[in-house]
């Protein structure tokens, strides 16, 4: 299998389609720098699937597209097709196995889209890579070898050099798998830790829920007994109340009959009263009408009087206005006369000014004509002056030319003399420099010895730095191990803290009702709620059990701002059937600040609980109310003794939790703890927060110490790098000094040749000086003639300037006269314009005054008309006043008569109302008896209905359908049922808040615990499996690495001897005990030298050694073809000869494409492709096939193809 054809279109510098055909053996691509020959190697690498733009010498993948040139536009597509032939049928898997020739194509569009094709059939990048792996051309490190890889091997550290062996062994994929396995292992261990933390918390919750579930079961049993008793008692009361309601209904019916009789008699009397009231109403209406007429007459008379007063005042006002108007008319008449006189004077002045303007315009025209004459004369004089100046300029040009010629000849003569002198000096300097070069050669030999000694001292210094770095590395490993352990502890503490904080935040362990009102998402329920009692109180750890025993379920009590918020929250719980909750008001009703009686003076008495327990600010009254009259003592014996001696109703509680209530009730005992209590969990969270803070503080100095060690190691690495750089520079300096000595002898030979050349130049300068005298005489004659012409023309120019000056003076005087005339004319025109404007203004003012006079006269006539109308209206209003006063007297008499009739009718109505009042009192008494019966009846029915609703609401049972016979027999006498109900209710109350969903929650938590246990088992098994997988990967990686290392080491020794024609080279592990992580050193012994590290070799030896190592790796996994991109650049001529001689035998099993500048490498090529540039941005590709015969070498130029845009 071999590479036969490469087609490039639009890739980098290849703007048009370019085809390269490859033959077996070596194909060389040559050309000057910048012509684009390395783009061919990039095209092959890109077609093989390279995804890194930096590897292709670009910043983005779009950089591979042809970007155009000065004459060519950019292309929108880059395409490279690579053809492999000689494939045997069935050699490849899949459809490709049917072909004997395979073409791989890659395309990239400027839009960013890309395509891969195999034999023009679209495929995936993975398909291309799989195919290349099958063909043996898939390893990028073995297909393309560039100069950068040689430099990388030379300059690499031992760990970086290890990558080459790993690529040869093919263990990179195993390292990736190991890294992924380690990441999964870390994640799995974290998950396992988390699951175990959760399981521990779930176990604690199970213990707590177990107690709550048992409590809920007792609650249900008591509740069922209470329900049966209450149903029997309620049914009995309901039936008794139903009989009483029937009896009361009969009594109500009898009373209603008597009520109807009394109401009928009362109705008859009220009808008579209403008739009399109707008559009284008519009289009252007539009385109101008479009064209205009387008031109307009074109003008309008053209006007439007011109108007369108004007319008198209005008349007086209009007379004053008439007198003011007469005075204004007189003033306007005088102003009109003044304005007319002023307009007449303005007209006279305007006519005078118009006549003067005509005289000024005639004078201006005469003066402007004189100015035009002077300007024409001055223009003629300027033209004469310009001609004279031109002749003078020609003369000056001739003078300058002659002067320049003389200057040039003088400069040339001076230059020739200086040159001759310089040649003499340079000859002497060359002789002196020859002597100096001999001295330099001797100095170079001495410096070579000194630099060799300096290299030895730097080697010792590097060894000391390496020893110190090893000690710091060990300290760093130890510090990192400690830091990792501390970080693991911090992670575990944080995980536990997060778990407990989540439980505290979600109110796990609290009753369902408490969780619902605080976290149920109902804003109505949460309004005014301030948290739970356990969060409000700050209880010292040694008093937690005592306070838990005293408060019991009240620790879960919800603190509220007031009872309104409490009732709203309870309503929400009822509406959602969300369980029960205890609520505590922030401001208790009882006076909780009452001082306690004096306590016995005993060391066993710790003090009042409200003084020993802290709380959040603002909740002091709440704390005092909850812990009122509670005293904490050391043990239960002290608590009992104090309780027996107490006469003040105190509650005594021991530190261990035994409670002695004033009533004699004692609670105590011990049992298995149900996980952390609410107070313990709160305290544990605070303690964990402190532990986390301490752990973080402890980690900080460790991190600083590790960072300091890392910085010191970095400094050691930099120092080692500087020392190695210095060593390399010293070695290069030794080589340069040796080459410098050889260059000195060559320079001496060149100086001898230069000395002979300087002698010939000196003779030529003398001959040129002799021929220069005739040219100087000719230039001096021309200079004298041009100077005479210049003097004559200058005298003529002076006379012309004087005549022109006189003309300018006359023109200036004439121009001034024109300006004066123009100013006078402008002044006249402005005056006449002003007079015309003034005359128009006066005319407008006269018209305005005339209009005002007319308006004032019209206003006077209007006032006279108004005065006449006012006199007539006054007479009319006086007559109306006399008529109104007559009507008022008549209506006053009518009002008195109707009022007397009203009084008589009202007396008759009062007599009838007294009779009706007696009857109404009898009816009211009857109605009160009827109302009492009705209320009794309603109360009986209400009690029965409430009993039905209460039982229906509480037990969802309708009492109307319940029979006493159907109920179970009571466990006590019927008379004791109420006592039994009270007892059962007390029992429920003593149970306190009950989480009815605890049973279901307990069952769900058990299921969760089982699930977590299964998860723990799975995670534990996963950890074990991952450890086994990592161990297997390490074993496989170690075996493959050692196998590849020994194979590469053996091949490296053989190839090195081939390249160097002898010598010895080998690879060494930096740490034989740790082959998985250790670095690799290269030691070599060129023929005739000692065994040395690669860094101590010369530049050419380093490069050839690195090339030997690359070819050793290539020969272990040979590729059908290999691209060598300027890999021979750092080699000198002798090493290139060795390189090419070793390269030729490898062509038997691989095809080589070499990009080179070296002539010896070109000589080994079977085909040459030359890339040249004949115009900016455009190159030509020339292919040459070389036929090598035994006796002669012929060159056959096959084709000149394809212009390539660079």
Q: What is the pLDDT, as a whole number, of residue 146?
A: 77
CA atoms within 13 A on the CB side of 745: 5
**DSSP-assigned beta bridge partners for residue 62:** none
Whether residue 72 has pLDDT greater than 90? no
Q: How far apart are CA 920 and CA 480, in angstroms?
A: 108
| Tens-place pLDDT, residues 826-839 | 787 777 777 778 87
- Segment (H or E) for 102: strand 101-109
Give 677's pLDDT tier (boundaries 50, 70, 90).
low
Q: Which of 855-869, 923-937, 949-963, 1187-1201 is least confident?
A: 1187-1201
Residues 155-169 have a mean pLDDT of 72
Range among 109-113, 204-208, 707-711, 870-874 with highest mean pLDDT value: 109-113
Q: How far is CA 912 from CA 29, 266, 279, 599, 906, in A?
A: 143, 11, 14, 83, 10
User: Do 1185 and 43 contact (CB within 8 A), yes or no?
Assistant: no
b (16+ CB within 10 A) / e for 375-393:
eeebeebeeebeebeebbe
Q: What is the pLDDT, as a whole number, of residue 136?
A: 62
The answer to whether residue 1171 is domain-embedded is yes
Query: Cα angle vertex 729, ends 728, 731, to 5°?
Result: 65
Whether residue 675 has pLDDT greater than 60? no
Q: Which of 484-493, 859-868, 1060-1069 is least confident?
A: 484-493
Strands (E), 637-752: 651-654, 659-660, 666-667
Whether residue 117 has pLDDT greater than 90? yes
CATH of the domain at 132: 3.40.50.300
Strand order in the sheet with 666-667: 605-608, 630-633, 651-654, 659-660, 666-667
| Tens-place pLDDT, residues 639-648 | 888 888 887 7
Give 1206's pLDDT tier (boundaries 50, 70, 90).
very low
The answer to whether residue 43 is domain-embedded is yes
Q: How far apart are CA 965 and CA 429, in angstroms?
A: 147
Which backbone phi and psi does 1203 adopt, to 5 degrees? Answer: -70, 135
Residue 1068, helix vs strand vs coil: strand
The answer to whether residue 392 is domain-embedded is no
Residue 18: other Cβ atoms inside 10 A? 23
| Tens-place pLDDT, residues 961-1011 | 777 666 766 665 656 677 777 777 777 777 766 666 677 777 877 887 888
Q: What is the pLDDT, as a whole number, of residue 109?
A: 92
Whether residue 776 has pLDDT greater than 50? yes
User: Do 1172 and 1201 contact (CB within 8 A), yes or no?
Assistant: no
Question: Total domain count for the chain?
Answer: 1
| Tens-place pLDDT, residues 786-816 | 777 777 777 787 887 778 788 777 778 778 7
Stronger pLDDT, 358 or 675, i.e. the higher one? 358
Percent of residues, the chain, with pLDDT higher than 90: 3
b (16+ CB within 10 A) / e for 916-954:
beebbeebeebbeebeebbebbeebbebbeebbeebeee
Q: What is the pLDDT, as a whole number, of residue 832?
A: 78
Stronger pLDDT, 580 or 430, i.e. the higher one? 580
Mean pLDDT of the chain: 78
Stronger pLDDT, 910 or 997, i.e. the higher one? 910
| Tens-place pLDDT, residues 589-599 | 755 445 677 77
Range among 122-126, 884-888, 1104-1108 with highest mean pLDDT value: 122-126
User: Do 3 and 1120 contact (CB within 8 A), yes or no?
Assistant: yes
Q: What is the pLDDT, as a whole number, of residue 121?
A: 87
Q: What is the pLDDT, as a whole number, of residue 1191?
A: 33
Residues 388-414 have a mean pLDDT of 74
Residue 912: other Cβ atoms inside 10 A? 17
Residues 1096-1121 have a mean pLDDT of 80
Q: How far apart are CA 240 and CA 234, in angstroms?
A: 10
**DSSP-assigned beta bridge partners for residue 654:** 633
Whether residue 708 has pLDDT greater than 80? yes
- DSSP character for 341? H
Q: Is 470 exposed, middle or buried (0-12, 13-18, 19+ CB in 10 A)?
A: exposed
The answer to whether residue 574 is domain-embedded is no
- Segment (H or E) for 472: helix 172-505
Residues 526-532 have a mean pLDDT of 79
Task: Residue 1179: give the domain boundaries.
Answer: 1-138+1119-1206
Residues 938-944 have a mean pLDDT of 76
Q: How far apart are CA 864 and CA 322, in angstroms?
A: 8
Q: How far apart are CA 762 and CA 764, in angstroms?
A: 6
Give me the sign of the Cα torsion angle 909, 914, 920, 924: positive
Q: What is the pLDDT, as a whole number, of residue 1198?
A: 37
Stronger pLDDT, 659 or 286, i.e. the higher one? 659
Residue ranges of the alpha helices (H) in 506-539? 512-519, 523-526, 533-536
Whether residue 689 has pLDDT greater than 50? yes
**DSSP-assigned beta bridge partners for residue 653:** 632, 659
Query: Minimal CA–CA distance to 695: which of 389, 996, 483?
Result: 483
The answer to whether residue 303 is domain-embedded is no
User: Do 790 and 350 contact (CB within 8 A), yes or no?
Assistant: no
State the distance between the two ends of the chain, measured CA to CA, in whole angstroms: 32
Which backbone phi and psi does 3 adopt, to 5 degrees? Answer: -85, 125
Whether residue 1125 has pLDDT greater than 90? no
- Segment (H or E) for 281: helix 172-505
Whether residue 94 has pLDDT greater than 70? no
The answer to whether residue 597 is domain-embedded is no
The answer to whether residue 1145 is domain-embedded is yes
Query: Cα angle vertex 364, ends 358, 367, to 5°?
Result: 150
Whether residue 888 has pLDDT greater than 60? yes
Residues 713-730 have a mean pLDDT of 77
Give 336's pLDDT tier (boundaries 50, 70, 90).
confident
Whether residue 151 has pLDDT greater than 70? yes
Q: What is the pLDDT, as a whole number, of residue 138?
A: 55
The answer to whether residue 807 is domain-embedded is no
Stronger pLDDT, 423 or 141, i.e. the higher one? 423
Q: How far apart are CA 373 and CA 602, in angstroms?
A: 141
**DSSP-assigned beta bridge partners for residue 531:** 559
User: Do 543 and 613 contact (CB within 8 A), yes or no?
Assistant: yes
Query: Minimal CA–CA distance to 637: which of 624, 654, 616, 620?
Result: 654
Residues 442-446 have a mean pLDDT of 77
Q: What is the pLDDT, as a whole number, of residue 83?
A: 92
Range among 69-83, 407-421, 477-491 with highest mean pLDDT value: 69-83
Whether residue 1082 has pLDDT greater than 60? yes
CA atoms within 13 A on the CB side of 933: 16
- Segment (H or E) for 315: helix 172-505
pTM, full prediction: 0.37
Residues 191-216 have a mean pLDDT of 79
Q: What is the pLDDT, as a whole number, of residue 918?
A: 82
Whether residue 525 has pLDDT greater than 70? no
Range among 680-684, 734-738, 1020-1024 with highest mean pLDDT value: 1020-1024
């Amino acid at each position: 299998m071999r590479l036969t054809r490469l087609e490039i279109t639009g890739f980098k510098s290849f703007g048009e389609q370019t085809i390269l055909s490859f033959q077996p053996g070596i194909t060389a691509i040559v050309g000057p720098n910048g012509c684009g020959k390395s783009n061919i190697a990039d095209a092959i690498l890109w077609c093989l699937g390279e995804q890194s733009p930096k590897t292709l010498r670009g910043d983005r993948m779009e950089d591979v597209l042809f970007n155009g040139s000065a004459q060519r536009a950019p292309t929108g597509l880059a395409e490279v097709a690579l053809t492999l032939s000689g494939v045997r049928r069935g050699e490849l898997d899949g459809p490709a196995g049917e072909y004997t020739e395979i073409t791989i194509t890659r395309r990239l569009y400027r839009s960013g889209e890309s395509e891969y094709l195999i034999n023009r059939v679209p495929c995936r990048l993975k398909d291309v890579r799989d195919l290349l792996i099958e063909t043996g051309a898939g390893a990028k490190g073995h297909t393309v070898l560039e100069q950068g890889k040689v430099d990388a091997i030379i300059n690499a550290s031992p760990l970086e050099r290890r990558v080459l062996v790993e690529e040869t062994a093919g263990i990179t994929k195993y390292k990736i798998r190991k890294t992924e396995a380690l990441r999964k292992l870390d994640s799995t261990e974290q998950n396992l830790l988390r699951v175990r933390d959760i399981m521990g918390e779930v176990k604690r919750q199970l213990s707590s829920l177990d107690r709550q579930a048992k409590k809920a079961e007792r609650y249900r049993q008591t509740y069922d007994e209470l329900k049966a008793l209450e149903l029997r008692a309620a049914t009995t009361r309901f039936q008794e109340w139903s009989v009483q309601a029937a009896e009361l209904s009969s009594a109500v019916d009898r009373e209603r009959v008597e009520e109807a009789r009394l109401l009928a008699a009362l109705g008859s009397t009220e009808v008579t009263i209403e008739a009399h009231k109707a008559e009284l109403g008519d009289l009252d209406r007539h009385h109101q009408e008479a009064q209205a007429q009387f008031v109307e007459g009074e109003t008309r008379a008053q209006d007439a009087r007011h109108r007369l007063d108004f007319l008198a005042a209005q008349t007086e006002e209009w007379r004053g206005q008439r007198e003011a108007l007469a005075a204004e008319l007189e003033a306007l008449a005088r102003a009109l006369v003044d304005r007319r006189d002023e307009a007449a004077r303005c007209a006279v002045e305007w006519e005078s000014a118009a006549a003067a303007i005509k005289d000024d315009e005639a004078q201006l025209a005469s003066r402007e004509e004189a100015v035009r004459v002077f300007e024409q004369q001055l223009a003629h004089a300027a033209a004469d002056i310009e001609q004279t100046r031109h002749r003078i300029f020609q003369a000056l040009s001739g003078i300058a030319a002659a002067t320049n010629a003389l200057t040039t000849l003088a400069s040339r003569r001076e230059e020739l003399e200086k040159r001759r002198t310089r040649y003499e000096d340079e000859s002497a300097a060359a002789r002196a420099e020859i002597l100096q070069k001999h001295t330099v050669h001797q100095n170079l030999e001495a410096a070579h010895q000194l630099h060799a000694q300096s290299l030895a001292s730097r080697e010792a210094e590097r060894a000391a730095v390496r020893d110190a770095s090893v000690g710091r590395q060990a300290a760093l490993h130890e510090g990192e191990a400690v830091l990792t352990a501390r970080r693991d502890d911090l992670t575990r503490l944080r995980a536990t803290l997060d778990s407990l904080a989540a439980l505290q935040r979600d109110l796990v362990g609290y009753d369902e009702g408490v969780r619902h009102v605080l976290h149920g998402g109902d804003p109505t329920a949460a309004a005014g709620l301030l948290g739970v009692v356990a969060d409000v109180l700050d209880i010292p750890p040694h008093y937690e059990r005592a306070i838990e025993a005293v408060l019991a379920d009240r620790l879960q009590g919800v603190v509220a701002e007031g009872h309104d918020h409490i009732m709203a929250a309870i309503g929400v719980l009822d509406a959602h059937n969300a369980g029960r909750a205890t609520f505590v008001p922030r401001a208790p009703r009882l006076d909780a600040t009452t001082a306690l009686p004096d306590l016995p003076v005993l060391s066993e008495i710790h003090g009042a609980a409200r003084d020993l327990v802290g709380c959040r600010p603002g909740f002091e009254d709440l704390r005092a109310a909850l812990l009122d009259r509670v005293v904490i003592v050391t043990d239960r014996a002290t608590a009992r003794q104090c309780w027996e001696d107490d006469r003040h109703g105190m509650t005594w509680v021991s530190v261990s939790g035994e409670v002695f209530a004033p009533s004699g009730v004692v609670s105590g005992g011990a049992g298995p703890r149900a996980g952390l209590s609410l107070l313990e969990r709160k305290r544990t969270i605070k303690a964990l927060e402190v532990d986390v803070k301490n752990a973080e503080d402890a980690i900080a100095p460790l991190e600083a110490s590790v960072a300091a060690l890392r910085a010191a190691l970095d400094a050691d690495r930099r120092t080692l790098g500087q020392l190695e750089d210095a060593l390399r520079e010293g070695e290069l300096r030794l080589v340069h000094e040796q080459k410098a000595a050889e260059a000195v002898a060559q320079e001496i030979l060149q100086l001898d040749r230069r000395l002979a050349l300087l002698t010939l130049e000196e003779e030529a300068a003398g001959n040129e000086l002799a021929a220069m005298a005739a040219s100087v005489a000719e230039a001096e004659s021309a200079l004298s003639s041009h100077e005479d012409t210049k003097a004559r023309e200058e005298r003529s120019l002076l006379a012309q300037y004087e005549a022109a000056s006189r003309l300018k003076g006359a023109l200036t005087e004439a121009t001034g006269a024109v300006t004066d005339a123009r100013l006078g004319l402008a002044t006249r025109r402005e005056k006449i314009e002003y007079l015309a404007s003034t005359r128009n203004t006066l005319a407008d003012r006269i018209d305005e005054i005339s209009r005002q006079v007319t308006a004032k006269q019209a206003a006077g006539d209007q006032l006279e008309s108004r005065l006449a109308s006012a006199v007539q209206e006054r007479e009319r209003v006086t007559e109306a006043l006399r008529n109104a006063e007559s009507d008022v007297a008549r209506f006053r008499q009518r009002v008195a008569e109707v009022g007397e009739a009203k009084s008589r009718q009202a007396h008759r109505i009062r007599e009838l109302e007294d009779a009706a009042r007696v009857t109404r009192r009898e009816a009211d008494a009857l109605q009160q008896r009827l109302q009492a019966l009705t209320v009794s009846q309603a109360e009986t029915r209400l009690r029965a209905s409430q009993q039905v609703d209460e039982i229906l609401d509480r037990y969802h049972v309708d009492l109307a359908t319940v029979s006493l016979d159907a109920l179970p027999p009571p466990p006590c006498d019927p008379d004791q049922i109420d006592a039994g109900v009270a007892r059962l209710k007390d029992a429920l109350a003593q149970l306190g808040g009950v989480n009815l969903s605890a049973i279901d929650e307990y069952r769900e938590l058990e299921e969760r615990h089982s699930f977590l246990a299964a998860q723990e088992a799975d995670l534990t098994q996963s950890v074990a499996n991952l450890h086994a997988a990592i161990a297997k990967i390490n074993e496989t990686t170690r075996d493959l690495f050692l196998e590849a290392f020994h194979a590469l080491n053996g091949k490296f020794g053989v190839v090195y001897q081939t390249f160097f024609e002898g010598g010895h080279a080998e690879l060494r592990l930096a740490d034989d005990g740790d082959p998985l992580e250790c670095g690799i050193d290269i030691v070599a012994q060129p023929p005739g030298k000692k065994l040395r590290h690669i860094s101590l070799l010369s530049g050419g030896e380093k490069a050839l050694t690195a090339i030997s190592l690359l070819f050793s790796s290539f020969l272990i996994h040979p590729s059908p073809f290999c691209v060598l991109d300027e890999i021979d650049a750092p080699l000198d001529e002798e090493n290139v000869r060795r390189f090419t001689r070793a390269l030729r035998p490898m062509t038997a099993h691989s095809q080589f494409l070499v990009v080179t500048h070296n002539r010896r490498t070109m000589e080994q090529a079977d085909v040459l492709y030359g890339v040249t540039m004949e115009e900016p941005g455009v190159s030509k590709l020339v292919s040459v096939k070389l036929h090598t015969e035994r006796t002669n070498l012929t060159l056959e130029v096959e084709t000149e193809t394809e212009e390539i845009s660079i």
